[in-house]
Amino acid sequence: MGTLAPPARLCCGRRKDFTLSQGKDAPAGQSEEPSERGHWSRKTDYLLSMVSSAVGLGSIWRFPYLTYQNGGGVGIMMVIITTLVTVYYNVIIAYALYYLFASFQSVLPWSDCFAWADENCSTTPVVSDCNTTLPNGIVIHTNYSYVTSNNLTCLNGSLTYKQVQLPSEQYWK
């Protein structure tokens, strides 16, 4: 291959064009290339030709052998890590799609306690127990279901609320 001559400077600070010398001077009008060159019919033909020369079946068949010869463990770990990352990514995308399509319903699933909710789900506070006065005048601390079933009333300020979760909290967990 020829050598590249560095550009020369002229007296006015402008650059002189450089030339590629071939080591021997070729007469003007003659070149070392054949006069008839092949042409690609389309750009895709050229692209497919380049890809097929770079990635052939020989490369695919030889890669596992070369990996094994050079230790092998790195190739296996690459496959395992790629698999784990792919599964992780797909789970995130699946959750996003699930909640996206769930939000298209007319009644949102997380707006009320439906079949998916447990006993701690409530849209309002739930009283668990309170102080009440029995008919004989004795004040007791009792379960709220006992108070309602015996048609009693709780004393003011003695209500204890059960810890509940809103439907939206339970749905998103």
Cα atoms in the Cβ-side hemisphere of radius 13 Å centred on 46: 6
Sequence-ordered strand ranges (E) for 17-144:
20-21, 126-133, 139-143
Please tell me the distance from the alpha carbon of residue 152 to that of residue 127, in angstroms, as a whole number. Answer: 14
Please tell me the distance from the alpha carbon of residue 73 to that of residue 150, in angstroms, as a whole number. Answer: 74
8 is in an annotated binding site: no
55 is in an annotated binding site: yes
**C-alpha distance across the termini of the chain, in Å:** 69
Q: Which of 129, 157, 156 is nearest to 143 (CA)?
A: 129
Q: Which residues are annotated as a binding site?
A: 54-55
Q: Which residues are annotated as a binding site for Na(+)?
A: 54-55
